[in-house]
A = this chain, B = another copy of it.
Amino acid sequence: MDKKIPEKVVSRLTLYHSIVSEYIEKQKETITSPQIAKLLNIDDSQVRKDFKLLNNAGRCRVGYDTKEIKETIETLLRFDKNKDAFIIGAGNLGLALAKYPNFNSYGLNILALFDNDPLKVDMQIADKKIFHLTKLPDLAHRLNVEIAVLTVPKQYAQTVADFLVASNIKYIWNFTPCILETPKNVKVWNESLMASFLQFAFKEIE
């Protein structure tokens, strides 16, 4: 993957991917940049500029070929790269993420959930089993899982993160509102829902 694509472009490419996927479902073979721009409330020229990254894949006189655009984005963003992960914390957020319909098509495979609540252990959510947290080190090792999606309550976030680090987890997608302390070889991606909302409020809400 070309590490030089800016984050904002990666973000827009995934939105374009959603749009062309919907067009394909509706049997539409082409899409134009104004159609995409209108749906995303952005400028037409921005869409065309981003599409240049795709080497004008699928361009034709009446628009872009939806299937080619879809495949080109998937290749560029490496959707085919296998990203097996565990969800840690089977609360509402963990369950919502386990059920989230679109993760798989982007190459993120949630293999199982973990919790320490005996009432939740052994339940199935969207074909995924909930295991007791104590099983994690062994399962992470056997299944070669290095990605954890952390959705535990705030007060346990650091303790559980320490446990993940000790279990050889290398990447933590952190949904807790805590800043985690981890060794340098463990990468943390803070999913700050509030930060995202504040950007919205900041830009748009009067």
Contacts from A to B (Cβ < 8 Å): 1, 3, 5, 7-8, 10-11, 14-15, 18-19, 22, 39-41, 77-78, 81, 83, 91-93, 95-97, 99-103, 106-108, 147, 154, 171, 173, 177-179, 181, 184, 187-205
Among candidates B100, B171, B197, residue contacting A200 with C-beta atoms closer than 8 Å = B171
- List residues of chain B with CB within 8 A of the CB of A193: 97, 100, 191
- List residues of chain B with CB within 8 A of the CB of A189: 196-197, 199-200, 204
Q: Closest CB-CB distance, A194 to chain B, in whole Å?
A: 5
Q: Smallest CB-CB separation from A81: which chain B residue?
A: B201
B77 touches A202 (CB 8 A): yes
7 contacts between A and B (CB under 8 A): A5-B202, A15-B195, A18-B179, A18-B192, A77-B198, A147-B205, A171-B205
Give the complex CA separation of A24 and B106 in angstroms: 40
B179 touches A15 (CB 8 A): yes
Q: Closest CB-CB distance, A146 to chain B, in whole Å?
A: 8
Among candidates B83, B100, B200, residue contacting A205 with C-beta atoms closer than 8 Å = B83
- List residues of chain B with CB within 8 A of the CB of A18: 177-179, 192
- List residues of chain B with CB within 8 A of the CB of A178: 18, 22
B179 touches A22 (CB 8 A): yes
Give the complex CA separation of A22 and B181 in angstroms: 13
A181 touches B15 (CB 8 A): no
Q: Closest CB-CB distance, A54 to chain B, in whole Å?
A: 15
Give the complex CA separation of A81 and B191 in angstroms: 23
A200 touches B179 (CB 8 A): no
- List residues of chain B with CB within 8 A of the CB of A203: 3, 7
A198 touches B10 (CB 8 A): yes
A-B contacts besides A40-B179, A189-B196, A191-B196, 18 pairs, CB < 8 Å? A5-B202, A7-B8, A10-B202, A11-B195, A11-B199, A15-B179, A18-B179, A39-B179, A39-B181, A83-B201, A92-B92, A93-B93, A96-B96, A102-B194, A108-B201, A187-B200, A187-B204, A187-B205
